[in-house]
């Protein structure tokens, strides 16, 4: 008698038929080379296996996957520069909004609001400078 038969009884069976796993549908985002059918590396212009040229439309679809990358392409800026400019714009709007959100009753309150405005404006300046440094070189 086997050890499993002693512990669990001979009538109990632990074997189960494998679940039927449906074949996964091929992903529409994965593009394969026409010549060797290897998957292209993200952002590549050529197949890493056979050297075939990748179609321009496939590269454009891949590059335009995110809305921010489409905006950056239209402005002819890098994605980092667009993000930095967005952060800078948010900081500048926040500097203006501080005066509307907080009411000033004393000189000390006025000084605090001015300090917050200065901090938001310094954040905007830093973000805009980062955007300038992240621009693409043509």
| Cα–Cα nearest to 104, from 114, 94, 91 | 114
pLDDT value of position 19: 62
pLDDT value of position 20: 60
Model confidence at 124, in pLDDT bands (50, 70, 90)? Answer: very high
Quick check: 32 and 49 in contact, CB under 8 A? Answer: no
Model confidence at 52, in pLDDT bands (50, 70, 90)? Answer: confident
pLDDT value of position 102: 86
Q: What is the mean pLDDT of the chain?
A: 77
pLDDT value of position 33: 82
**Torsion region of 55: left, alpha or beta (phi above 0 gives left; psi -120 to 50 gives alpha):** beta
Distances (CA, A) of 79 to 41, 47, 101: 20, 25, 32
pTM for the whole structure: 0.51
Model confidence at 133, in pLDDT bands (50, 70, 90)? Answer: confident
Model confidence at 95, in pLDDT bands (50, 70, 90)? Answer: very high
Model confidence at 41, in pLDDT bands (50, 70, 90)? Answer: confident
Model confidence at 128, in pLDDT bands (50, 70, 90)? Answer: very high
Q: Please give the Cα distance from 98 to 94 (Å, whole number).
A: 6
Model confidence at 12, in pLDDT bands (50, 70, 90)? Answer: low
Q: Domain limits of the chain? A: 29-63, 75-133
Structural tokens at position 137: 């070189």
Residue-wise over 97-108: b if at least 16 C-beta within 10 A, else e?
ebeeeeeeeeee
């Amino acid at each position: 008698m086997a050890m499993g038969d002693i512990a669990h009884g001979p009538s109990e069976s632990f074997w189960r038929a494998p679940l039927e796993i449906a074949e996964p549908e091929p992903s529409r985002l994965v593009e394969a080379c026409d010549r060797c059918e290897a998957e292209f590396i993200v952002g590549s212009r050529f197949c890493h296996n056979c050297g075939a040229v990748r179609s321009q439309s496939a590269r454009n679809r891949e590059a335009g996957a995110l809305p921010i990358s489409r905006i950056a392409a239209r402005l002819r800026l890098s994605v980092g520069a667009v993000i930095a400019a967005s952060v800078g714009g948010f900081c500048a709007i926040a500097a203006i909004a501080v005066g509307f959100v907080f009411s000033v009753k004393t000189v000390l309150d006025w000084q605090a609001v001015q300090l917050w405005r200065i901090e938001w404006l310094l954040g905007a300046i830093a973000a805009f400078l980062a955007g300038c440094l992240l621009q693409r070189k043509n």
